[in-house]
Amino acid sequence: MGEALRAVVVDTYALMAKATSEITPEADTCLEDVRRGKIRGIIHPLITYEFLLQFYKGRTPIFTTPSETLEFLEKHFSTSEISNRTALTAAEVRFKSDELIAKLKRHLSLCDSMTIAVAKERKSPIISGDKDLQTVADKEHVEIIW
């Protein structure tokens, strides 16, 4: 994080790690800067979906209702539109990653593909500890904060 960040794309993994106190100090500092308004935190609708799904599964103990969970996301993060152009970039990322991730006997999720696409479009780093996402983001020359 040499130069001052203006924006960062926040992955579900980072939100969950923050909620369960399993986040790295660097990622935690970055998320705190988002909370304080020093850095613009960006999510997309699939992040919202995944985070709300985690709420319904009882994995976000800091929230008591789905509305409270959604209000938290809307208060602290800007939601990026998923345009057809973003979907094109995400499909390219996913297709190019298949061979790389297959070696690990894994696959890149739709959400992770979209997260990388949003970060590429905005020329912003991603906060995430997700190993599959990190591996592909590195290949796509997208900075990861973790």
3 pLDDT band, cuts 50/70/90, is low
Q: What would the pLDDT profile of 109-138 be if each residue is shown by its tens digit?
A: 999 999 999 999 999 999 999 999 999 999
* Cα 107 from Cα 91, distance rounded (Å): 13
101 pLDDT band, cuts 50/70/90, is confident
pTM of the model: 0.91
What are the phi and psi torsion angles at 94 (to 5°)? -60, -45
Domain architecture of the chain: domains with CATH:
7-145 (3.40.50.1010)
7 exposed, middle or buried (CB, 10 Å; 0-12, 13-18, 19+)?
A: middle
The CA-atom distances, in angstroms, between 5 and each of 16, 94, 144 are 22, 26, 12
